Amino acid sequence: MKAVLAILFTATLQSMFAMVNVCAQTVAIGYVSAEIVESVSASSLAITGFDMKNESNLTAQSEPAGWNYENVSLGEIKINSGMGVACNVVMKPATLSDTNGNGFTIEPSATSYGQADAQRTDGNQTLIMTGRARMMQGQASGLYQGSYTMVFAYN
């Protein structure tokens, strides 16, 4: 009798679940945006090796004694883009050092042909990269290595 009741109970449950209709509705909403991007290219004609003199007559009049300053050429960077594309250039100074721990800094800067503000370029431009080396008088001679950072932010 228990077996028959168990079979009937199982059959009743199965028939109840078979009769239940399940309905669901799903709504999907999507947003699409597009931005028109013009092509931009930058090519570097960087000067990576140069000789500097460390003489006492290089010191500027307004600078403290014991320091020498020399202007160095760091090369050019050519930026090619449409006239409506603006590029801001941010530069960080270079710290150069040798294997003995001696070091000095170069403060990079940019000038541009035909543009008042070289930090912002529009269209095709050539940036002339220069640097101002700041070293102590009597700086040890030899091979120094380092790098400077340039960030190009396009609008």
Question: pLDDT confidence of 139, banded at 50, 70, 90?
Answer: confident
Fold of 41-154: Immunoglobulin-like (2.60.40)
pLDDT at 33: 64
Which residues, 6+ apart, have CB-to-CB distance to 119 below 8 Å? 88, 89, 90, 110
Nearest to 73 by CA among 13, 130, 144, 142: 130
Tell me 119's DSSP state.
T
pLDDT bucket at 59, cuts 50 / 70 / 90: very low
Question: Which residues on neighbouring strands pair with residue 120, listed in sequence order?
Answer: 88
Instruction: From 126, 110, 123, select the one nearest 44 (Cα to Cα).
Output: 126
CB 42 within 8 A of CB 75: no
Domain boundaries, the chain: 41-154
**Percent of the chain predicted with pLDDT > 70:** 67
Radius of gyration of the chain (CA): 35
**Residue type present at position 126:** T
Q: What is the pLDDT of residue 152?
A: 78
CA pair distance 55, 136, nearest whole angstrom: 10
Q: Which helix (H) or strand (E) holds 19?
A: helix 2-19
Does the pTM of the predicted model rise above 0.85?
Answer: no
* Each residue's pLDDT tens digit, 93-131: 988 898 888 888 889 888 876 665 555 666 778 888 888
Q: What are phi and psi of 144, to 5 degrees?
A: -115, 145
SS3 category, 5: helix
